A and B are shown apart, each in its own frame.
Chain A
Amino acid sequence: MKILTPIKRVVDFTVKVRVKPDGSGVDLDNVKMSMNPFDEIAVEEAIRLRERGVATEVIAVSLGSATCQETLRTALAMGADRAILVETDTELEPLAVAKLLRQIVLKEEPQLVILGKQAIDDDSNQTGQMLAALLDWPQGTFASKLEVAAGKATVTREIDGGLETLELPLPAIITTDLRLNEPRYTTLPNIMKAKKRPLDILKAADLQTEVTPRLKTLKVEAPHPRKPGIKVNSVEDLITKLRNEAKVI
């Protein structure tokens, strides 16, 4: 059984992004880029399924510019067997990503696609659900536990107020939440090994898929700054301020 793990190259989670003065977007020049943290969890889960003998091959796929090869190499260093880059310089919206991924799924025929629940740049939380819709596959989103056996995936989902467990027939789409696993670190020997693993490059244009953006970003601005606060010296002082000044208790 093959597992496909789509990954996105995003601004590293430790970076505090700055809005460009002209309001056209955020400044991404010389900013550290990494694999989206939820996608790391997806790659880790796929590799664990292979290590348990459930899956036979883990394929990482990324869509974007040539620099995404670096992110794919990270997935290979974690233990993915091979990688595919769908190269494009067009900015892709989640629907376009889902449409391109659908083409890859039809070609590779995986039984599971495991994706991060959201990318930490645009925070959309859409791609997995959209891919499930386009393939007419069942979806198990925001997974905190995944078991695969006998043609079925049993997935525990993080929902508001608690947990939900679903049983899905394969093939299926899974999106990862935080507690699914803790991704492994890449080691130098594995980084070296990863360099020899295959990384195929396809041109998005060759996939005959409509990817024109549907939305237009008119402007990007910084959120309103908060007024500077004060330090209080004691619990009594804090309670007095909250009662008489802020009037919230």
Chain B
Amino acid sequence: MPILVLAEHDNVALKPATQHTVTAARKISEKADRAEIHILVMGQDAGKVAEAAARIEGVAKVVLADAPQLGPQTAEILAAQVLLQTGTEQYSHVLAPATTFGKNLLPRVAAQLDVQQISGITDVLSPTTFVRPIYAGNALATIETIAGAIIVLTTLSTGFDAAPIVETGAPIEPAKAIANEETGVRLVGRQLARSDKIELTAARIVVSGGRGLQKAENFQLLEALAAKLNAAVGASRAAVDAGYVPNDYQVGQTGKIVAPELYIAVGISGAIQHLAGMRDSKVIVAINKDPDAPIFQVADYGLVGDALEILPQLTAQL
């Protein structure tokens, strides 16, 4: 039976999270007689997205449901579209990225399928056995599902590399779009950050700031360092709570989980919930004036000192 991956996109471009989810699907496929991987693209005028999805290595087919009612991508109608697809073709697994897109949509699908979803997996041990972090990453659970039912999973990008893009695309098959059900849900609008901002979960280097930066304006020092390193900017929950930066900067258990090559934590004490979001980074640098801050326990390189003095020096010397 094939494996279905739900594509994340904005009707214009495919989000890289989808490539990571395809890698998880390939890991399942390798252990399940090379089951085919299909991608479902749901949107409006999303042909370009379908073409991009078709070029992800390992994808056998893209199913494109393209209709005006799918454009706003609200959970109610997308869930109905996924159910239409799982009713049309039998799948062994349905996967989506554990981003706000997947987190919002997939449990709605799982409940309608009467299936207990497994959220945020980081490894595939067999087609029915998966590893996922619990308790803010302080424990890893190995979970087995009951065989027989369709398996519904969200995948953390930190557990799976992005599947490469290839030259020749897989076939794209149009799907019948779900009728425009009167859900009554209306998308009023979206306020999105600049599109040139490097996405946290996809960045090779992340620089994050905490309460130690003392005020919102001081995040400009961090932005300057990020620009120099071509890095994404993150923040601790404390910095978000203090109103220094918007919530989508948040790295941690309740924000984004990242695992870049280099993570630089500036003025971050290292609360459990923050460590949960970055402890799998390859190299961790901590800059903090408190030599006993817990962040130093996970840091490969620690520098004790005032973040506001060190940041400009670091930016200047790079």
Q: Report if A34 contacts B (CB, 8 A).
A: no
A138 CB contacts on chain B under 8 angstroms: 76, 183-185
Residues of A within 8 A of B (CB-CB), count = 79
Cα A95 to Cα B100 with chains together (Å)? 19
The reply to whether A216 and B262 form a contact with Cβ atoms under 8 Å apart is no
Q: Report if B314 contacts A (CB, 8 A).
A: yes
Question: 1/0 per position for B121-144, CB-CB distance to A under 8 A?
Answer: 000000001000111111111111
Nearest CB of A to B187, in Å: 6
Nearest CB of A to B215, in Å: 18
Cα A98 to Cα B115 with chains together (Å)? 12
User: Do most interface residues of chain A lie in helix, strand or loop, or is the interface mixed?
Assistant: mixed
From 137 to 193 in chain B, residues with beta carbon under 8 angstroms from any chain A beta carbon are 137-146, 149, 183-193
The reply to whether A94 and B107 form a contact with Cβ atoms under 8 Å apart is yes
Which of B139, B241, B273, B310 is most buried by chain A, counting CB atoms within 10 A of its CB? Answer: B139
Cα A53 to Cα B191 with chains together (Å)? 30
B314 CB contacts on chain A under 8 angstroms: 235, 238-239
Q: Report if A17 contacts B (CB, 8 A).
A: yes
The reply to whether A95 and B133 form a contact with Cβ atoms under 8 Å apart is no
Nearest CB of A to B107, in Å: 4
Nearest CB of B to A174, in Å: 12
* A217 touches which of B143, B256, B302, B318 (Cβ 8 Å): B143
Cα A166 to Cα B183 with chains together (Å)? 12
Nearest CB of A to B142, in Å: 4
Question: 1/0 per position for B191-221, CB-CB distance to A under 8 A?
Answer: 1110001010100010000000000000000
From 91 to 122 in chain A, residues with beta carbon under 8 angstroms from any chain B beta carbon are 93-95, 98, 117-118, 120-122
B114 CB contacts on chain A under 8 angstroms: 95
Q: Would A17 and B190 be within 8 Å (CB), given that A141-B103, A246-B283, A248-B205 are in contact?
A: no
From 237 to 287 in chain B, residues with beta carbon under 8 angstroms from any chain A beta carbon are 237, 240-241, 246-248, 250, 253-254, 256, 261-262, 272-273, 279, 282-285
Residues of B within 8 A of A (CB-CB), count = 89
From 67 to 124 in chain B, residues with beta carbon under 8 angstroms from any chain A beta carbon are 74-76, 79, 99-101, 103-112, 114-120
Interface residue stretch chosen among A70-78, A152-160, A183-191, A194-202 = A152-160
The reply to whether B136 and A120 form a contact with Cβ atoms under 8 Å apart is yes
Which of B186, B189, B291, B299 is most buried by chain A, counting CB atoms within 10 A of its CB? Answer: B186
The reply to whether A217 and B262 form a contact with Cβ atoms under 8 Å apart is no
The reply to whether B142 and A168 form a contact with Cβ atoms under 8 Å apart is no
Nearest CB of B to A241, in Å: 6
Q: Report if A52 contacts B (CB, 8 A).
A: no
The reply to whether A168 and B246 form a contact with Cβ atoms under 8 Å apart is no
The reply to whether B301 and A163 form a contact with Cβ atoms under 8 Å apart is no
Q: Report if B300 contacts A (CB, 8 A).
A: yes
Cα A239 to Cα B316 with chains together (Å)? 11
Cα A234 to Cα B314 with chains together (Å)? 10
The reply to whether B99 and A11 form a contact with Cβ atoms under 8 Å apart is no
Q: Would A226 and B108 be within 8 Å (CB), given that A162-B193, A167-B188, A238-B285 are in contact?
A: no
Q: 5 closest pairs, A vs B, by CB?
A: A129-B107, A130-B111, A133-B111, A214-B116, A162-B192
28 contacts between A and B (CB under 8 A): A13-B272, A16-B138, A17-B139, A95-B110, A120-B135, A123-B120, A138-B184, A139-B108, A158-B247, A159-B100, A160-B99, A160-B256, A162-B193, A166-B185, A167-B185, A178-B240, A179-B240, A217-B144, A218-B143, A219-B141, A221-B139, A226-B300, A229-B300, A235-B303, A238-B314, A246-B262, A246-B300, A248-B282
Query: 17 more A-B contacts (CB under 8 A) besides A124-B117, A220-B139, A231-B303?
Result: A16-B138, A121-B134, A123-B133, A125-B103, A132-B108, A141-B104, A159-B101, A165-B188, A168-B184, A169-B184, A179-B240, A214-B145, A215-B145, A218-B142, A229-B296, A231-B301, A232-B302
